[in-house]
Structure 1
Amino acid sequence: MATSAQSNMQLGTKERFFAYFKHEVTALQEQMERLATTAPSGGERKDAVDHCLAGIDRLSHEVKDASSYIPAYDQRTYADAIKALGEKLQKTRNDFAPPKKFQFSTARKNASAISINDAAELAQQHGSGSLHVPGYPSDASGTNSSFAPTPLDKLSPSEEKPEPDLHARVNKNLSRAREDEYGGEGGEDGNAASSSAIRKPSFSNASSITISNHTSVHILLPTSASHATSSGTVSNVRHSVVDLSPPTTSTTTNSTGASAPSPFAGLTLKNIKDSLIICGAVAGSAHVTSVENSVVVVATCRQFRMHSSKNVDVYLHCASRPIIEDCEGVRFAEVPGAYTTSDSKQTPNQWDKIDDFTWLKAGPNPHYKLLDQADRISDEVWTQTVPGGHSVSLDDILRAVGVLR
């Protein structure tokens, strides 16, 4: 009897996933059909394409995550549908892409125009009776060759190898990359490398946000990073505070005037421990995997999926039913007022209607619970402590939100 009930429950799960998949495919197809009429100016069409790409990638991950209860045949069907979506998007992009400009083909290099060192190698090959491609090591010793290359210290200035200049350029580029990562906005004290400062990476040359491999840092994404929210990833973070919300929830002002907030098309959190992650607004799905002893805030999202996580408090606004799988000790609460957006006020919030794909029994679910009002973080902590400052340390914030005891 129990086996029959479990089978019926699993069948219901597969049917729910099929209905969800069908809905998402239809939505993506409609988005692709609107691409041709989306204005290319101002990056609107590019943002729309990025949103479609993120949706296809998210759907692919969701099929993979659901492989534990979806038959192999259905998985292949889903994979074929996702592949067809990708091909349709590529065809749509090709249709409105500008025709390639005519270019003259580059003339082939004269075979006789070789360098001194190449000539020396050819001479060595002829002397040893072997033939080898110039510029690659040869087994020939070259002892029978009468052609010797000019020593490096005797080369003319135009033939000298510019190693010092190359190293200088590399060092300069590394410094510039470091500035892009942490120096664009600087810390509060002007020194982004300081462990006590709030780091504000600018991502000035990026189209997406990736924050990885950090321990004991406080990172605040500035509103100027709104151009890079096509997708976001936070991974391998320990004992830290990461706030991605400003560019996704705040109105920004630039040379062309004020612009609306720019939510992430999709967001991924992975391998995070003992941290506070404030995700901001996500237009698509928020994926959370392998997060432990942490607090996660999602201002708004269309779908929320959590895998292999434990002891996590989730403050959430989700337009659909949140999904968890292989999780323990997860506690859900409504997103605090400090992070509500105009969009979240206009859409329903199903933060408390959780579907657990690994709990097929009737009765109370031991894997998650809803946070009582008395156990939730107060508005005062969200508005006064979490933003940080000179008098508020990283540990003060983590202690205030319950990550540190």
Structure 2
Amino acid sequence: MSASQAQSEVGLKERFFRSFQHDVAALQEQIDRLNTIPGNERNEAVDQCLAGIDRLSHEVKDASCYIPAYDQRTYSQTIKGLSEILQTVRNTFNPPKKFSFKTRKNAPAVAVSGSMGLDKSEESRGLINTSDTANADSSFPSTALGKVSREEEDTPKGASRNVEEIGDGIRDGPGVRRPSFSNASKINIANHSKLHLALPTSASSATSSGTLSNLQSCVVDLSIATTGSPFAALYLKNIKDSLIVCGQIAGAIHITNVENSVLVITCRQSRMHGSKNVDVYLHSLSRPIIEDCQNVRFAPLPQTFAGPELDHAANQWDQIDDFKWLKVEPSPNFGVLAEAQRVGDEVWRDKVQGGGDGDLEEILQAVRKQ
């Protein structure tokens, strides 16, 4: 093996290790939040956790060609630990029922109670050493984006918040929509075309998590609602020809199938899958990861969206890992957006933030790639 090949293999191992740690931490956060999710939405949240664990398992298998057998076993044990933790949490929602065998005549009754799942021990949660210097998240400042978990102090005892979905009562077309989400626990914006939406401060109670999906030619600004009240996690799926100002995310943002769009993101971790022709204005406290992407251009977060809490927080916006690029040469799938082509602060400030004074088509034209 040549020196360059050896160096490439070491780089792959390190990238996979960082990626795996990030995903494990994100899944642990998702599992920990299951207890705060209303019962009618919990099954979907559990399914998302199961899908994440399954995806991790497949990624370890795909990487087996360059990961030593010992490391593969360690990763597999970690995945098994996550599955056990999830099962334990699920058992608290639906504890195994006690049951008894029917008694035969002249035979004593036999009662049997069972409990499936394992204790949520520190050992099962700590198969990956999160204090390792390779884990960039360990240096994440607690004051930079706020805490991931939040107390729902305003929710009456015995009550649960509902998911408020945009769709009913919110129409596409001219004008800026400002739904309050005052009674929501999370945000779900789906199935819109030519929607211009800006969340007001009253939506800050709904930022435990958010999903934006199936949007085309839309402008969505979440920044005001997340000031001081960041998303725990945010998911972007199937978005085309749009501008999404994601606001602040204390955990991870997962971006899937986004095309011909502009994203403005402040997060702890950024991971993008299957996207192309995207400009990302980013403040990330760990190395961003892309997979199966094409023509993604990165730039630092515009000053308009950079609050004082980010002044001393390290920004790794240009330290990109292309997880599917296995060669020593730099990946052709991403690059840095030239300064001359970046959108100016006057556009962000005057036309975009909080709805601005520009209409939808004007804003999209102003931020599109030159």
Bucket of the pairwise TM-score, normalised by the shorter protein: 0.5 to 0.7
Q: 1:309 to 1:21 in 2, by over 3 A?
A: closer
**Residue type at the aligned position of 1:329:** N
- Aligned partner (choices 254, 268, 275) of residue 287 of structure 1: 254
- Could you tell me how far 1:364 is from its partner in structure 2? 3.1
Q: 1:208 to 1:357 in 2, by over 3 A?
A: same
**Residue type at the aligned position of 1:377:** V
Post-superposition CA distance 1:192-234 (Å, at most 9, x none): 5472121122223321111111001101112111111111111
**Residue type at the aligned position of 1:395:** E
- Aligned partner (choices 344, 358, 368) of residue 378 of structure 1: 344
Residue 401 (structure 1) aligns with = 367
CA contact (8 A) 1:332 1:371 kept: yes
Residue 17 (structure 1) aligns with = 16
Residue 240 (structure 1) aligns with = 218
Post-superposition CA distance 1:314-336 (Å, at most 9, x none): 00000000011111111000000
CA contact (8 A) 1:58 1:266 kept: no
CA contact (8 A) 1:180 1:204 kept: no
Residue 318 (structure 2) aligns with = 352
Partners of 1:379 and 1:6 in 2: how far apart?
Answer: 43
Which structure ranks higher in relative contact order (CA pairs < 8 Å, sequence separation ≥ 6)? 2
Partners of 1:244 and 1:311 in 2: how far apart?
Answer: 22
Q: 1:323 to 1:68 in 2, by over 3 A?
A: farther
* Secondary structure, aligned partner of 1:293: strand
Determine whether 1:364 maps to 2:327.
Answer: no
**Residue type at the aligned position of 2:330:** P
Q: 1:68 to 1:339 in 2, by over 3 A?
A: farther
* Secondary structure, aligned partner of 1:248: coil
Equivalent positions of 1:187-266 (< 5 A) are: 193=171, 195-249=173-227, 261-266=228-233
Residue 53 (structure 2) aligns with = 60
CA contact (8 A) 1:359 1:365 kept: yes
What is the percent sequence identity of the aligned residues?
47
* Secondary structure, aligned partner of 2:311: helix
Post-superposition CA distance 1:289-338 (Å, at most 9, x none): 1111100000x211111111111000000000001111111100000011
Q: 1:320 to 1:306 in 2, by over 3 A?
A: same
Q: 1:372 to 1:54 in 2, by over 3 A?
A: farther
**Residue type at the aligned position of 1:18:** F
- Could you tell me how far 1:78 is from its partner in structure 2? 4.0
Q: 1:317 to 1:180 in 2, by over 3 A?
A: closer
- Could you tell me how far 1:375 is from its partner in structure 2? 1.2
Residue 244 (structure 2) aligns with = 277
* Secondary structure, aligned partner of 2:309: helix
CA contact (8 A) 2:350 2:357 kept: no
Equivalent positions of 1:304-343 (< 5 A) are: 304-343=270-309
CA contact (8 A) 2:258 2:275 kept: yes
- Could you tell me how far 1:391 is from its partner in structure 2? 5.8
Partners of 1:279 and 1:20 in 2: how far apart?
Answer: 22
RMSD: 3.9
- Could you tell me how far 1:262 is from its partner in structure 2? 1.2
Determine whether 1:296 maps to 2:263.
Answer: yes
Post-superposition CA distance 1:353-396 (Å, at most 9, x none): 00111212223321111112111100000001124769622110
- Could you tell me how far 1:397 is from its partner in structure 2? 0.2
How many residue pairs get aligned? The number is 287
CA contact (8 A) 2:8 2:328 kept: no
Q: TM-score, normalised by structure 2?
A: 0.66
**Residue type at the aligned position of 1:392:** G
Q: 1:223 to 1:269 in 2, by over 3 A?
A: same
Determine whether 1:83 maps to 2:49.
Answer: no
Residue 129 (structure 1) aligns with = none
Partners of 2:357 and 2:366 in 1: how far apart?
Answer: 14
Determine whether 1:70 maps to 2:63.
Answer: yes
Partners of 1:317 and 1:221 in 2: how far apart?
Answer: 21
Q: TM-score, normalised by structure 1?
A: 0.60
- Could you tell me how far 1:59 is from its partner in structure 2? 5.9
CA contact (8 A) 1:10 1:69 kept: no
- Could you tell me how far 1:60 is from its partner in structure 2? 3.2
Partners of 1:235 and 1:26 in 2: how far apart?
Answer: 24
CA contact (8 A) 2:165 2:189 kept: no
Q: 1:24 to 1:365 in 2, by over 3 A?
A: closer
- Could you tell me how far 1:263 is from its partner in structure 2? 0.7
- Could you tell me how far 1:15 is from its partner in structure 2? 4.7
**Residue type at the aligned position of 2:261:** S
Partners of 1:25 and 1:57 in 2: how far apart?
Answer: 12
Partners of 2:257 and 2:30 in 1: how far apart?
Answer: 31
Q: 1:65 to 1:279 in 2, by over 3 A?
A: farther
More helix per residue: 1 or 2? 1
CA contact (8 A) 1:14 1:69 kept: no
